[in-house]
Structure 1
Amino acid sequence: RYAVLERRADWWRRDWPSTRNTGNFERLRYRFYASRDNAFEAFKKGEIDVFAIYTSRLWMEGTDKTPFHRNWIVKQNVVNCKPVGFQGFAMNMRRFPFDDLRVRKAMAHLLDRHTLNRTLMYNQYFMHRSYYEDLYGPENPCPNPEVKFDIAAAQRLLTEAGWRANPDTGLLEKNGKALAFTFLTRSPSSTKYLQVFDKALKDVGIQMTIDQKDWSAWGKDMDEFNYEMTWAAWGAGLFKDPESMWHSKEATRQSGYNITGFKNAQVDALIEKQKTEFDVEKRHAMCREIDQLICEQSPYIMLWNTKSVRLLYWNKFGTPPTVLGKYDSENVGYWWYDEENVADLAEAQAKDEALPKRRFEVNYNELFRDLRIPPIK
């Protein structure tokens, strides 16, 4: 399956200085695949021109073949100012046992993220400690503490919450009810991460059942809040809009983004306040305050992310020195079809020769600072 976007010849801004040299393709075709691995195989066969990487396994293991060695396929790690989303294990705060803050905090201490990053992801990621990572920096350091793997801390929190080990089963119980939950997943690839999590849970007496469903069934359950814990990943916008994900009124709206059922009166008030604030820096300050309040409530077991864009593409395109725009992910709006590159690629493949290597590490700010760009006229 695929979708085709065609450029309009009569677009009213086509010749404006601000849009000159953008939108250089007559049409863009987006192909859809049932699995990431199938899409990657199609890319290596030349059925897809551009492929953005979102898994460290493909980035580290999948690019060790002739097309990459010969530079027929370009591999670039682009660091720019793109908005950074977040991912985590979402806990349904509407349901037992995750309606208790102490249980949620204990769960976060039982995920050994650094070991997962080291053993399964080639140390490619930083560990989340914010829902708005790109709102922090040298001038505004993030005050949220990193939640570290700490079984003793988890046990203290669970004891404080009234959970005690059954001497016969070893499982934690409270009022005759075991501390058990179901992890709803839509991806077989999550199993290796959940196995590590499950071992730590068992060590303290918590029982986790994994429920594997397809995307359609998973989506239906999520729309109806029919889950206890799941893996969720979210993108981000340049201007933050926390209302749909964090306002209390969204906690009961089905098919929405507040999947954890998060409710907090202080957060609601700040959301309403920032909606009418036109000073960007003041809005960002409010969003940082919102972020800190959310982190205190632990609606997610926060996972990991990368601040770069990992790109693969067949060496047939022209690109600006920065490859992407300042805030782009895999947007090819500044690229063009380079007939000389196409001819060079065909010749190199026919002769089994290498093409000149392009820069692997691309840092937007460094390159842009060094460019001498004339003003738009």
Structure 2
Amino acid sequence: MRFVAYALWGALALSGGAGAALAAEPGPAHGLAMHGDLKYPPDFKHFDYVNPDAPKGGAVRLGAMGAFDTLNPLTLKGEAAPGLTLTLDTLMVAAADEPFSKYGLIAQSVEMPEDRSSVTFTLRSEAVWSDGTPVSADDVAFSLETLRTQGLPLYNMYYSDVAKVEVLGPKQVRFVFKTNQNRELPLIVGEMPILPKHYWQGRDFSAPTLEAPVSSGPYRIESFEPGRSITYARRPDYWGRDLPVNRGQDNFDSVRYDTYRDATVLLEAFKAGAYDYRLENVARQWATGYDTPAVRDGRILMEKLPHHRTAGMQGFIYNLRRPLFQDPRVREALAYAFDFEWTNQTLFHSEYSRMRSYFDNSELSAIGLPDAAELALLEPLRDQIPRRVFTEAYQPPVVDEAQGGLRSNLARALALLGEAGWTVRDGALRNADGTPFAFEILLVQPEFERVVLPFARNLERLGIKLAVRTVDTAQYMNRLSQFDYDMIVSGWGQSESPGNEQRDFWSQAAATTPGSSNYAGFVSPAVDRLVESLIKAPSRPDLITRVRALDRVLQWSFLVIPQWYQPADRVAYWNIFGRPAQTPRTGLQFMTWWVDPAKVAALGGRGGR
């Protein structure tokens, strides 16, 4: 997984996987490939999806929801400022046009023995911190220990198979593994953000801070106003600016984020020219919210850029820690009350496709019945997993007017609820003790209420009372980390090579770890076994088989009511940018864009500029 900065939910594009192999002959190499060879040779000059001659300069302004009270994105406490990853470097970086390959950034080379029991990184001699101090192997060792003990909970899970770290010299460090079966671990370690030991030693890394730390990345924090805005300035002295992995990127002289507490205000600010670039995630706004002179006369451009990212899963997530949702028949039943077809047509202008898999939009998705290879994994677990894994292909409920429409779906829901011991009495759905069926959904985005309220009305027809509670970002994040909710709207981002991060999503350990991404509180020894099997997959075909087996069990466990996905990035931007001709398979890469002075001049000013 790419190192995680603050995000409201896991739809970040995670990396991970299994079957890592050195991309060159044994000995020091310039990178690692998950399967097969690296695309780029040792003497490559730049990634294909950048313009290596992109002009540097210009200021870009961005908008973000929420507020912030800390400048450290790697811990659980506090709400981190947007954009802080611009200040952080890692040992290696991903190529956006390969499923899972890493190339040296801080690391000049990487070496792994045939038995994959360890990985050794040699650091670049030119790598220095923003205060001029050299980046050292001691910093790398300090980073591992600090992130595992004081960082986000997921770090402890990601690095749990690292037995120890050995400092071999000022610029050489070795990670020794507990097992050689966790084949993605060398790449996962390479993604680790490196921290300056000389700065953090003696400070409380886990506490929120508004002191800008010493950093190593291409940008530094220039100024900020807590909770309102933060500006990053490109460092002309950045040690890595001419490396092949950075060429053609980080082209803006400054990047400013302004934060907003209301999504409607955020959109209006963009149209008024308060910021320059916007990824649009709301279909209704994409269809109707940009009716403005700036769009009609071409000052604002709107584009859909197709991508081939794994969609992951987004949905109404049940908290199985609540007794109300522990019966899978109850969870299956409530899905029949969600009318996706009406929602997509009426609210989303038919923009979306229905999710049915935890790995949609990819070859990893389980479709049809399990094949022989999957059955070899699933048969030993037959008594521990849903029986329908073997007999039916999962499909979320469809409201089909030719088959009775929503009325038919609600009848099916009542039948399932009846099997689980719930019946309608005195106008309410009640269990054998007479307790009414009632729960709350926790939201952080007010605009999502228009999706939830029709769902609530459908549930009301079943005798179920759904309360909707919308809270501010800080309260939401606190309740999310403590699993203090009945249901949320969230999800799990996935990559083309899932791996260690699956522990944080599904494991029994994660279910009881505050701040983990096991939002559903799912506990299944069988799933733990499937996750560990996935992590140990020796080849790409084996990985695909093992992911599909996991997908089937998750589908039939009814952890969510699946929602929707969009196989393209919807982007709106003021016409001041140039961008590379090629968009990689993972989608647009904004930091490869640049400000075009001729376009700025032609625009003749807009909004606040």
Where do 1:148-187 residues align within 5 Å? 148-149=398-399, 150-166=409-425, 168-187=426-445
- Equivalent residues of 2:284, 2:348 under 8 A apart: yes
In 1, Cα distance between equivalents of 2:574 and 2:541: 40
In 2, Cα distance between equivalents of 1:181 and 1:17: 53
TM-aligned CA deviation for residue 13 of structure 1: 4.5
- Equivalent residues of 2:366, 2:549 under 8 A apart: no
In structure 2, the residue matched to 1:296 is 556
1:342 aligns with 2:592: no
- For these two proteins, the number of residue pairs brought into alignment is 345
- Equivalent residues of 2:579, 2:593 under 8 A apart: yes
1:193 aligns with 2:443: no
In 2, Cα distance between equivalents of 1:199 and 1:136: 37
In structure 1, the residue matched to 2:481 is 223
TM-aligned CA deviation for residue 123 of structure 1: 0.6
- Equivalent residues of 1:13, 1:19 under 8 A apart: yes
In structure 1, the residue matched to 2:586 is 327
SS at match of 2:230: strand
Where do 1:20-31 residues align within 5 Å? 20-31=247-258
In 2, Cα distance between equivalents of 1:177 and 1:281: 49
Q: Which moved more, 1:208-217 or 1:268-277?
A: 208-217
In structure 1, the residue matched to 2:523 is 263
SS at match of 2:305: strand
1:165 to 1:133, Cα distance in 2 relative to 1, 3 A: same
The one-letter amino acid of 2:397's match is V
In structure 1, the residue matched to 2:271 is 44
In structure 2, the residue matched to 1:119 is 346
1:276 aligns with 2:526: no
Aligned mate of 1:207, from 462, 465, 479: 465
The one-letter amino acid of 1:105's match is E
Q: Which moved more, 1:42-51 or 1:178-187?
A: 178-187
SS at match of 1:76: strand
Residues 90-127 of structure 1: per-residue CA shift (max 9 Å, x gap): 11111121011000000111111110111111011111
Aligned mate of 2:497, from 216, 239, 243: 239
The one-letter amino acid of 1:249's match is A
In structure 1, the residue matched to 2:15 is none
Residues 55-81 of structure 1: per-residue CA shift (max 9 Å, x gap): 012111121111101111111000022
- Equivalent residues of 2:428, 2:436 under 8 A apart: no
CA root-mean-square deviation: 2.3
The one-letter amino acid of 2:320's match is M
1:313 aligns with 2:589: no
Q: Which moved more, 1:244-253 or 1:212-221?
A: 212-221
Where do 1:59-70 residues align within 5 Å? 59-70=286-297
1:7 aligns with 2:234: yes
In structure 1, the residue matched to 2:397 is 147
1:34 aligns with 2:284: no
1:102 aligns with 2:329: yes
In 1, Cα distance between equivalents of 2:482 and 2:600: 50
SS at match of 2:504: helix
- Equivalent residues of 1:86, 1:131 under 8 A apart: yes
TM-aligned CA deviation for residue 170 of structure 1: 4.4
Structure 1-normalised TM-score? Answer: 0.84
- Equivalent residues of 2:278, 2:571 under 8 A apart: yes
SS at match of 1:97: helix
1:239 to 1:7, Cα distance in 2 relative to 1, 3 A: farther
Residues 314-343 of structure 1: per-residue CA shift (max 9 Å, x gap): 111111234x433135x3122122111112
The one-letter amino acid of 1:24's match is N
TM-aligned CA deviation for residue 9 of structure 1: 3.5
TM-aligned CA deviation for residue 182 of structure 1: 1.9
- Equivalent residues of 1:92, 1:261 under 8 A apart: yes
- Equivalent residues of 2:312, 2:494 under 8 A apart: yes
1:140 to 1:254, Cα distance in 2 relative to 1, 3 A: closer
Identity of aligned residues (%): 29
- Equivalent residues of 1:80, 1:308 under 8 A apart: yes
In 1, Cα distance between equivalents of 2:251 and 2:496: 24
TM-aligned CA deviation for residue 141 of structure 1: 4.3
In 1, Cα distance between equivalents of 2:469 and 2:241: 50
In 2, Cα distance between equivalents of 1:178 and 1:190: 26
SS at match of 1:40: helix
In 2, Cα distance between equivalents of 1:205 and 1:90: 20
SS at match of 2:517: coil
Q: Which has the higher contact order (CA 8 A, sep 6+)?
A: 1
- Equivalent residues of 2:440, 2:469 under 8 A apart: yes
| Structure with the bigger percentage of helix | 1
Gaps of 5+ in 2: 1-227, 369-392, 400-408
Residues 202-244 of structure 1: per-residue CA shift (max 9 Å, x gap): 2122122223322222332222222211212443344323110
Gaps of 5+ in 1: 350-377
SS at match of 2:324: coil
The one-letter amino acid of 2:539's match is D
TM-aligned CA deviation for residue 278 of structure 1: 4.5
In 1, Cα distance between equivalents of 2:247 and 2:470: 48
- Equivalent residues of 1:135, 1:288 under 8 A apart: no
SS at match of 1:84: coil
- Equivalent residues of 1:325, 1:334 under 8 A apart: no
Residues 231-285 of structure 1: per-residue CA shift (max 9 Å, x gap): 1244334432311011111111112111111111221011112223352342232
In structure 1, the residue matched to 2:169 is none
